[in-house]
Amino acid sequence: MSGSDSVRPVLGLTTYLQQAQTGVWDVRASFLPAIYLDGVSRAGGIAALLPPQPVDDGIADRLLAGLDGLIITGGRDVMPASYGQRPHPATDEDLADNRMRDALEFALVRGAMRRGMPLLGICRGAQVLNVALGGTLHQHLPDVVGHTHHQQGNAVFSTSSVRTVPGTRLAALIGESSDAQCYHHQAIDRLGEGLVVGARDADGVIEAVEIPGDTFVLAVQWHPEERLDDLRLFAGVVAAAADYATERLGA
């Protein structure tokens, strides 16, 4: 019997930290769009939010100790100092809250990989995974591909056709190709250690990466939460997290 038949796993999802408005309030807040939570719950998991906060590897391990899987979500640009570059004019401002989120997510990625915990990266999450493993990013894709299709602005997602690499975990999950909802002006450049490309788009831009092997470590540059009629990526990480939980709990 697989873990997904016996355990409903808890997956931690990282969150934003920035100024936010709600009703009469205009406050610094940690938050995450609810569609991420819907993706996890519809796939059979339990969602737990992980707000940016001061962190070291010990704190990250304490957070991970109560989880069965990890999702690094979308958000602002990874600070380029973390991969040895100066900021591009189009890169998000280097703010303390952005650095705090980077530090937390890098520590969580390191901790999850030490534990063999399933991990799914979404958009920014793919970039975080790549940088955490020593890779670099293209800071502004229009400089590379010559157009703004990947991020048209004004919160309008564009649809890109991505083709998977045969033999990858991603190909096994979603098949040869998929229409992806994209909103990113950055992308993976040099791959981090141990990562392989899982998909590219028509421009040759890396749209997914993964680590081969038994542990589910997969990240996509697009936003699967924007298409909850297709739960295959969420179902994949939830099933892996259920198996992880079953083994961890001795069920």
Which of 150, 184, 185, 223 does the annotation list as catalytic? 223
Q: Is 225 among the residues known to form the active site?
A: yes
Q: Which tokens go with 94?
A: 């280097």
Q: Is 182 among the residues known to form the active site?
A: no
- Long-range Cβ contacts of 230-235 (<8 Å, 24+ apart): 230/174, 230/178, 231/39, 231/42, 231/43, 232/173, 232/174, 233/120, 233/173, 233/174, 234/39, 234/40, 234/42, 234/43, 234/45, 234/120, 235/43, 235/44
Which of 105, 207, 210, 225 does the annotation list as catalytic? 225
Q: Is 150 among the residues known to form the active site?
A: no
The residue type found at 241 is A
Which of 123, 138, 184, 185 does the annotation list as catalytic? 123
Catalytic (active-site) positions: 123, 223, 225
